């Protein structure tokens, strides 16, 4: 996020796109609520009628996967009606000319056709967003989990640059990160192309620094991304895989492919707190301790590094992940893994990761600090880019992009669009499902279907249906609801019993390599029970 979470409540306009905030990030959802109560305007762009729509001044119900068309159309209105922040653009941005050409290439009536949103409504939203003095855009997986997710993100950034809505308190572009420490995992270099602190693996200077600190030689070529890892495992290039605390057999797109890939491995080591679906496929399973049983830090979506503290002893014979890694490394004769506490590890992180330079356990004892925090005097950074951007020139880059349809379109055979969503009650697949009371509230998968489609398919509320895509089929209970628009069905992926991701499409965004969870084509069939009435002696109904 470019801003702090607490700044959302003070903003003049919140534009939420592709984020079911109230369910996925409830406390941020409450900040939006606070902003609206303080008089902020609220624009929501979502195909589904999420809870926020009720509060919204404008709800843009665009078709799934047409975000770029919608955002470009808004940009066009801003340019045409001269709501531009010209001084901001002159001082801080570049590349406007090419962008203008790209945006002007398609007009509003085309956007209306593509997105299904009336042109006047798009224009109204654009004016609303552009005319306030502070505005914040919030987006989440609804924007990134597409085969053209990177384009979506750029299209969002374009809007902010046009209006200068970035680089001030309560004003910015705020991706809401999903899992508790996905920000920290990225910061720490759990990525194939960067070392801790987003320092490029390919940069020889950077490598030299790390080689000196770690006392080893480093591989110069960037590694494989998650999806590429499974492809390489499938083709036999990767032979051994070590998974710490993840459950790709349920959470990744096209899970049957993942399982096949795993079966080709010579060695799979899984380290987790539960015997997950993935762990069941492993050769070795190492029991890890949960967040309540170890010390450390998490970094939240607003870049705040906060303490995690040990409250209880590890359950059973489990051990904290950091201890297990140290043990294995030391057993392999490696130097530099003789840590006694996570605090010592943070001290090493600090020396090698400039953005974490000023983060010490002592300083974050009470409230945490937001990076960049280069030294121990630095107070942390609540909002980013007050003066320059992190591009080489320091200027914000307009990106000329144009709308491309989702990788998988509906067809005669697969006429419905499936989009995945999150439930308020669960998170991903493992943790919350182990809480009996949460299962009691939402114990099984429900596929949301609009009454129009339900009527056409003669589906009744609560009946078990089969959802079929080009890749597989799963069963789930139908929930007839107007939340989902006609032509679209939606499911979560919290339930290993119903492997939604058997259906989803592994088409990757070419840059960010995120699978297209949000759009895939499916059909729905009834599970016909040949009950009494079909056999002719039933209820007397005809």
Q: Which of residues 4-63 bind ligand SF4 (CB under 6 A)?
A: 25-27
Closest CA to 408 of 499, 508, 476: 508
Residues 6+ apart with CB under 8 A from 365: 307
Site string for another protein, 53-72 (x = CB under 8 A): --x-----------------
- CB nearer ligand SF4, residue 73 or residue 138: 138
- The sign one gets for the Cα dihedral 24, 26, 31, 32 is positive
Q: How far is the CB of 175 from ligand SF4 (least distance, A)?
A: 15
Interface region with another protein, contact rule CB under 8 A, candidates 117-125, 158-166, 227-235, 464-472: 227-235
473 contacts another protein (rule: CB under 8 A): no
Q: How far is the CB of 250 from ligand SF4 (least distance, A)?
A: 19
226 contacts another protein (rule: CB under 8 A): yes
Interface region with another protein, contact rule CB under 8 A, candidates 161-169, 386-394, 438-446, 453-461: 438-446
Interface region with another protein, contact rule CB under 8 A, candidates 84-92, 98-106, 183-191, 395-403: 183-191
436 contacts ligand SF4 (rule: CB under 6 A): no
Single out the residue of 96, 99, 257, 322 in contact with another protein (rule: CB under 8 A). 322
Residues 6+ apart with CB under 8 A from 78: 84, 126, 129, 130, 159, 162, 163
Single out the residue of 110, 119, 132, 308 in contact with another protein (rule: CB under 8 A). 308
Helix (H, G, I), strand (E, B) or coil at 314: coil
Single out the residue of 27, 39, 387, 412 in contact with another protein (rule: CB under 8 A). 27
Site string for another protein, 382-421 (x = CB under 8 A): ----------------------------------------
Q: How far is the CB of 367 from ligand SF4 (least distance, A)?
A: 15
**How far is it, in rounded angstroms, from Cα 253 to Cα 472?**
11
Q: How far is the CB of 26 from ligand SF4 (least distance, A)?
A: 5
> What does 31-95 look like in DSSP terms, one character per residue?
HHHHHHHTT-EEEEE-SS--GGGGT-SEEE-PPTT-HHHHHHHHHHHHHHTT---HHHHHHHEE-
The torsion angles phi and psi of 260, rounded to 5 degrees, stand at -65, -45
Residue 440 touches which member of another protein, ligand SF4, none, C-beta under 5-8 Å by kind: another protein
348 contacts another protein (rule: CB under 8 A): yes
Closest CA to 264 of 285, 246, 238: 238
Tokens of 58: 């404008």
Judge contact between 195 and 313, C-beta under 8 A.
no
**How far is it, in rounded angstroms, from Cα 175 to Cα 350?**
25
Site string for another protein, 476-515 (x = CB under 8 A): ------------------------------------xxx-
Binders of another protein in range 95-114 (CB under 8 A): none
- CB nearer ligand SF4, residue 25 or residue 518: 25
Q: How far is the CB of 432 from ligand SF4 (least distance, A)?
A: 9
Residue 200 touches which member of ligand SF4, another protein, none, C-beta under 5-8 Å by kind: none
Residue 409 touches which member of another protein, ligand SF4, none, C-beta under 5-8 Å by kind: none
Helix (H, G, I), strand (E, B) or coil at 227: helix
Judge contact between 480 and 459, C-beta under 8 A.
yes
204 contacts another protein (rule: CB under 8 A): no
**Residue reference for tokens 């914040």:** 136
Site size for another protein, by CB under 8 A? Answer: 154
**How far is it, in rounded angstroms, from Cα 36 to Cα 411?**
41
Q: How far is the CB of 359 from another protein (least distance, A)?
A: 9
Q: How far is the CB of 25 from ligand SF4 (least distance, A)?
A: 6
Q: Are strands 304-308 and 520-526 parallel, antiparallel or unpaired?
A: unpaired
Judge contact between 41 and 14, C-beta under 8 A.
yes
Tokens of 400: 């000329």
Binders of another protein in range 143-162 (CB under 8 A): 144-145
**How far is it, in rounded angstroms, from Cα 280 to Cα 31?**
40
- CB nearer another protein, residue 85 or residue 423: 423
Q: How far is the CB of 23 from another protein (least distance, A)?
A: 8
Q: How far is the CB of 478 from another protein (least distance, A)?
A: 18
Element (DSSP H or E) covering residue 418: strand 416-420
Helix (H, G, I), strand (E, B) or coil at 21: helix
Q: How far is the CB of 81 from another protein (least distance, A)?
A: 32
**How far is it, in rounded angstroms, from Cα 102 to Cα 162?**
14
- CB nearer ligand SF4, residue 29 or residue 196: 29
Single out the residue of 158, 199, 299, 469 in contact with another protein (rule: CB under 8 A). 299
Residue 105 touches which member of ligand SF4, another protein, none, C-beta under 5-8 Å by kind: none
Q: How far is the CB of 88 from ligand SF4 (least distance, A)?
A: 33
**How far is it, in rounded angstroms, from Cα 446 to Cα 225?**
31
Q: How far is the CB of 368 from ligand SF4 (least distance, A)?
A: 13
Single out the residue of 98, 104, 240, 473 in contact with another protein (rule: CB under 8 A). 240
Single out the residue of 181, 199, 255, 446 in contact with another protein (rule: CB under 8 A). 181
| C-alpha 421 chain-centroid distance | 11
**How far is it, in rounded angstroms, from Cα 322 to Cα 233?**
26
Cis omega (within 30 of 0) on the bond before 372? yes
8-state DSSP, 387: S
Q: How far is the CB of 174 from ligand SF4 (least distance, A)?
A: 15
Helix (H, G, I), strand (E, B) or coil at 539: coil
Binding site for ligand SF4 (CB under 6 A): 25-27
């Amino acid at each position: 996020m470019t801003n702090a979470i607490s700044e959302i409540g003070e903003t003049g306009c919140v534009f939420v796109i592709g984020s079911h905030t109230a369910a996925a990030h409830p406390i941020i959802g409450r900040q939006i609520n606070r902003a609206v109560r303080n008089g902020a305007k609220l624009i929501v762009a979502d195909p589904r009628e999420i809870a926020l729509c009720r509060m919204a001044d404008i709800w843009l119900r665009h078709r799934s996967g047409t975000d770029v068309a919608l955002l470009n159309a808004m940009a066009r209105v801003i340019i045409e009606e001269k709501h531009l922040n010209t001084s901001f653009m002159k001082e801080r941005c570049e590349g406007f000319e090419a962008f203008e050409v790209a945006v002007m290439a398609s007009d509003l009536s085309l956007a209306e056709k593509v997105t299904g949103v009336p042109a006047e409504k798009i224009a109204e939203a654009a004016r609303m967003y552009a005319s306030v003095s502070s505005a914040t855009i919030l987006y989440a997986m609804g924007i990134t989990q597409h085969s053209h997710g990177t384009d979506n993100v750029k299209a969002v950034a374009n809007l902010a640059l046009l209006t200068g809505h970035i680089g001030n308190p309560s004003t910015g572009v705020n991706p809401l990160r999903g899992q508790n420490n996905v920000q920290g995992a990225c910061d720490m270099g759990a990525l194939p192309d960067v070392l801790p602190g987003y320092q490029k693996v390919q940069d020889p200077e950077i490598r030299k620094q790390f080689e000196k600190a770690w006392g080893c030689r480093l591989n110069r070529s960037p590694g494989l991304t998650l999806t590429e890892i499974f492809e390489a495992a499938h083709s036999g290039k990767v032979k051994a895989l070590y998974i710490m605390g993840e459950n790709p057999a349920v959470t990744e797109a096209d899970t049957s492919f993942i399982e096949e890939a795993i079966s080709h491995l010579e060695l799979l080591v899984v380290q987790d707190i539960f015997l997950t679906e993935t762990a069941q496929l492993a050769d070795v399973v190492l029991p890890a301790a949960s967040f309540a049983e170890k010390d450390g830090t998490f970094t939240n979506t607003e870049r705040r590094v906060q303490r995690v503290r040990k409250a209880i002893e590890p359950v059973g014979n489990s051990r904290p992940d950091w201890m297990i890694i140290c043990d294995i490394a030391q057993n392999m004769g490696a130097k530099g893994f003789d840590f006694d506490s996570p605090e010592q590890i943070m001290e090493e992180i600090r020396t090698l990761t400039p953005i974490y330079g000023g983060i010490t356990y002592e300083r974050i004892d009470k409230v945490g600090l937001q990076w960049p925090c280069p030294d121990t005097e630095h107070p942390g950074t609540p909002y980013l880019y007050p003066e320059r951007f992190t591009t080489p020139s320091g200027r914000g880059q307009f990106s000329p992009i144009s709308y491309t349809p989702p990788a998988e379109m509906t067809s005669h055979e697969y006429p419905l669009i499936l989009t995945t969503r999150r439930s308020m009650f669960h998170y991903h697949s493992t943790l919350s499902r182990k809480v009996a009371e949460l299962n009691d509230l939402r114990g099984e998968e429900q596929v949301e279907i609009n009454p129009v489609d339900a009527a056409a398919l003669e589906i009744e509320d609560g009946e078990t249906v089969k959802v079929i895509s080009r890749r597989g089929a799963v069963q789930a209970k139908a929930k007839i609801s107007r939340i989902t628009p006609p032509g679209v069905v939606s499911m979560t992926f919290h339930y290993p019993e119903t492997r939604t991701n058997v259906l989803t499409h592994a088409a990757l965004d070419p840059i960010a390599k995120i699978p297209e969870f949000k759009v895939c084509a499916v059909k729905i069939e009834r599970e016909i029970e040949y009950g009494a009435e079909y056999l002719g002696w039933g209820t007397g109904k005809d």
